[in-house]
Amino acid sequence: MQNRVISKKDLAGFVDDLIKTKAAGEVIGIKAQGNKFNFGPLKSSGELRLDYDVSLLPPKKYFFPQMETVLKYEVGKSPMVEPLVGEQKLCIIGVHPFDIRGILLFDAVYGGKDPDPNYFLKRNKAIIIGVDCLTPNPKAFAASMGTNITDEGFDLMLTDLGGDYFVTVGTSKGDSLIGKAKTKDATPADLEKRNKVRKDAEKKYKVSLKMKPDQIPGLLDATWESKVFTDKAATCFSCGSCVMVCPTCVCFDVQDEMSLNLKDGERYRRWDGCMLTQFASVASGENFREHKEQRFRHRMYRKGKYLVERYKYLGCVGCGRCAIACLAEIASPAETYNLLKEVK
């Protein structure tokens, strides 16, 4: 597969064609929302903001919606259960490498021996057109997590070279899609330019982890009793914002809702998160993480140890969304890990 270069004008035409023909499904793109950015359906290429820093919510919401009905049922003499599996063919444009790494973690968690049909029917049909993040937000630390760049998980990856985009082709699906656009083959000089643009972007990250990411599990092994967790959690509101905006938070709660006629109902799942007070409550009334410092510590272990050990992907991709969302200014894993290293 040959990497390409496309002019900004031709990229706009390519996106407009995708929107018009729906050849790759419904086109979702990164757009401005007030003075922030978010993913949403694109009406025209003019709405695309590939120069963004971070989206309010990660694109995982298209494969794992905030709330999703998973089955309908009827009770009575002839009870009935009908599973509901939402399918959707989407082309998502403008996904940053760290969010792609988040999706790869989702693939691992929701895959395995018994893959989640609701997730994979959407995920497997999706085309992902990524874009390198050249303007990281001030709370991001993807460069020190090694997630500012990815060489997997996308069909096409765009890098802004000024007047043109470098197009890294990741899959044959992406290759045939970009084959429909007016492009030219990338030369070694174009590749060199792309690599320089990426290196320059790396220097713009303001937050850094003061260790290699693979040292985090060992650090956590040695700091379970640390006062850092209690001190940090002292001002936590248990609002759950940090987990709701996170591209690597995979948890959900399942609820049954019976209609008022008491004859039928539906079961749905919706996002849940370990920083919420009731997350670890069980039917008999006990709460395994009743205190906020326990929840705070659990989140740091989950990101930095449990997920890394179980799956091959990091449990934090350094996007900085949690730090932006946290009113108490305590949610950044990088800050906690750096502090743990300092006081150890």
- Residue 54 contacts ligand SF4 per CB under 6 A: no
Tell which one of 239, 251, 280, 339 touches ligand SF4 (CB under 6 A).
239
Tell which one of 11, 216, 246, 250 touches ligand SF4 (CB under 6 A).
246
Q: Count H helices and E strands in the chain, helices first.
A: 13, 12
Is 103 or 316 the residue whose CB approaches ligand SF4 more closely?
Answer: 316
Query: Which residues are 81's β-sheet partners?
Result: 73
- Residue 237 contacts ligand SF4 per CB under 6 A: yes
- Residue 240 contacts ligand SF4 per CB under 6 A: yes
Q: Could you tell me if 163 and 145 are in contact, meaning their C-beta atoms sit under 8 angstroms apart?
A: no
Tell which one of 144, 318, 335, 340 touches ligand SF4 (CB under 6 A).
318
- Residue 325 contacts ligand SF4 per CB under 6 A: yes
Number of residues that bind ligand SF4 (CB under 6 A): 27
Q: Could you tell me if 116 and 110 are in contact, meaning their C-beta atoms sit under 8 angstroms apart?
A: yes
164-169 β-sheet, strand order = 36-41, 26-33, 90-95, 127-131, 156-160, 164-169, 4-7, 184-185
User: CB of residue 111 vs ligand SF4: minimum separation in angstroms?
Assistant: 19
Length of the chain: 344
Residue type for 83, please? P
What region does 76 belong to: left with phi over 0, alpha with psi -120 to 50, or beta? left
Query: Which residues are 74's β-sheet partners?
Result: 80, 264
Residue type for 172, please? S
Residue type for 257, please? E
User: CB of residue 267 vs ligand SF4: minimum separation in angstroms?
Assistant: 27
Tell which one of 50, 250, 317, 340 touches ligand SF4 (CB under 6 A).
317
Distance CA(311)–CA(296), nearest Å, equals: 22
Q: How far is CA 226 from CA 221, 254, 341, 343, in A?
A: 11, 34, 11, 9
Q: In the 8-state DSSP scheme, what is residue 275?
A: T
Is 18 or 275 the residue whose CB approaches ligand SF4 more closely?
Answer: 275
Find the binding residues for ligand SF4 in span 291-310 (CB under 6 A): 303
Per-residue x/- track, 89-128, ligand SF4 (CB under 6 A): ----------------------------------------
User: CB of residue 40 vs ligand SF4: minimum separation in angstroms?
Assistant: 20
Q: How many Cα atoms are found within 13 Å in the side-chain-facing hemisphere of 141? A: 22
Distance CA(200)–CA(223), nearest Å, equals: 35
- Residue 241 contacts ligand SF4 per CB under 6 A: yes
Contact stretch for ligand SF4 (CB under 6 A) within 33-41, 62-70, 112-120, 239-247: 239-247
Contact stretch for ligand SF4 (CB under 6 A) within 174-182, 189-197, 264-272, 317-325: 317-325
Q: Which of 98, 97, 105, 89 is nearest to 157 (CA)?
A: 97
Tell which one of 322, 337, 338, 340 touches ligand SF4 (CB under 6 A).
322
Tell which one of 215, 230, 238, 294 touches ligand SF4 (CB under 6 A).
238
- Residue 213 contacts ligand SF4 per CB under 6 A: no
Tell which one of 27, 131, 177, 326 touches ligand SF4 (CB under 6 A).
326
Distance CA(251)–CA(110), nearest Å, equals: 10
Q: Count CB-CB contacts under 10 A for residue 3.
A: 21
Tell which one of 275, 307, 308, 340 touches ligand SF4 (CB under 6 A).
275
Strands 156-160 and 127-131 turn out to be parallel
User: CB of residue 23 vs ligand SF4: minimum separation in angstroms?
Assistant: 32
User: CB of residue 209 vs ligand SF4: minimum separation in angstroms?
Assistant: 11
Which parts of this chain interact with ligand SF4 (CB under 6 A)?
236-242, 245-248, 275, 303, 316-322, 325-328, 330-331, 333
